[in-house]
Amino acid sequence: MDVKLLAQDDELYVFAQSADRVAKERAMRRRQLKWLWARLGKLAAMKASYEEMLMKLGAARSKAPTAWRLVDAALDKASGTLTYSLDRKKLRIARRREGRYLLRTNLTDKDPAVLWQYYVQLVAVEEAFKNLKGDLAIRPIFHHDESRIEAHIFIAFLAYALQVTLTRRLYALAPGLTARSALEKFAAVQMIDVHLPTTDGREIVLTRYTQPEPELQLLINQLKLTLPAQPPPKITAAALAQIAPRSEDLLV
C-alpha cells in the first residue's frame, strides 16, 4: 500500500493505491465484463419484443453494474434490434482508477498512513453495522427491563463475534468464500425427527441430520471440522407414561 499527501488550502488529500487491490478490482471487472459481453451476444441473436428486451437488458445491468458502465448498448424500438460496443475510453479510465483512492480530510497535522488507517477502521465499522442488519437480521426490539436490554445486546454481540470468527477462518483455510456464502451452503443440512411407532404402542424418536452434499463435505474438510455423531434415540414422554408401572401394581 502506497500512501501520499496532496495538500491543498485548508484541506488535505490522501492518495492511496494498492497492488493487491488493483489486481482484485481488475479481476472483478474482467469477470463481469466477460459475462456481460456473452449475455449481450445472446440477447442480440434473440428474437423478442422491445418490452421483453428492455426487461432482459435491465436484468443484465443489475447483475453486472460495473461492466455495464463500460458498454454502449442501443435498442431499436421499431425492430427490437440490439447493438452494443465497448467504450474503450471509459475502459482506460476505469483501469487507471482501479485500486486507487483519494480521501479528503481536514486533519492536516496527521500522518498519511494514520489517516488511511482511520478510513479502513471506518469501513470496518460500516461493514459491521451492515452485517448486523443484513446477514444477522438483527432488528430493534423495545425492551422495558434493563436485564433484557443487556441480554439482547449480548446476543447481538455474540452473533457478530461468531460471524467474524467464521470470516477469519475462511480467510485462512478457504479463501474466496465469504461468511454469507458459507452459511448458505451449511443451510442445506437440516435436522429431522423420525418417529417409529412400535407394536406395543410406544414411539421411538430418532433425531437425525441430513448428510452433506459432496461440495459441502469438501468445505467441511477444508475448514477442518468434524460433524457430531447422530444423537441417540429417545422415547417420548407419552410413551414413558405408557410403560411406567402403575401405583396399584407397586402395592401388589
Q: What is the pLDDT of residue 250?
A: 46
Would residue 220 count as lying in a domain? yes
Model confidence over 47-87: pLDDT tens digits?
Answer: 888 888 889 999 999 999 989 999 999 988 888 789 999 99
Whether residue 252 lies inside any domain: the answer is no
State which of 77, 98, 119 marks the end of a domain.
Answer: 98
* Cβ–Cβ under 8 Å, residues 116 and 14: yes
Q: Does 130 fall in a domain? A: yes
Q: Dihedral through CA 26, CA 28, CA 29, CA 31, nearest 10?
A: 120
SS3 13: strand
What is the CB neighbour count within 10 angstroms for residue 82? 19
Both 74 and 33 in a single domain? yes
177 & 200 share domain: no
Given this model, what pLDDT does residue 8 score? 64
- Domain identity same for 132 and 88: no
Instruction: Decide if 251 is inside a domain.
Output: no
Mean pLDDT by 10 residues, the chain (252 residues): 64 81 89 94 88 90 92 87 92 91 77 80 83 77 86 87 89 85 88 87 88 89 89 72 50 46
- Residue 195 in any domain: the answer is yes
Same-domain status, 68 and 117: no
Does one domain contain both 23 and 94? yes
139 plus 121 within the same structural domain: yes
Are residues 197 and 165 located together in one domain of the fold? no
- Is there a single domain that holds both residue 80 and residue 120? no
State residue 1's pLDDT score.
59
Q: What is the reported pLDDT for 67?
A: 92
Q: Domain containing 93: what range? A: 19-98
Residue 93, pLDDT score: 93
At residue 252, the pLDDT reads 44
The domain boundary, picked from 98, 119, 143, lies at 98
State residue 140's pLDDT score. Answer: 74
Co-location of 178 and 198 in the same domain = no
Last residue of a domain, one of 151, 183, 215: 183
Domains: count for the chain: 3
What's the CA gap between 71 and 67, in Å, rounded? 7
Task: Tell whether 219 and 162 lie within a shared domain.
Answer: no
Does residue 6 sit within a domain? no
- Whole-structure pTM value: 0.51
Map residue 163 onto helix, strand or coil.
helix
Domain co-membership, 122 together with 65 = no
Is 5 domain-assigned?
Answer: no
What is the reported pLDDT for 132? 79
237 lies in a domain?
Answer: yes
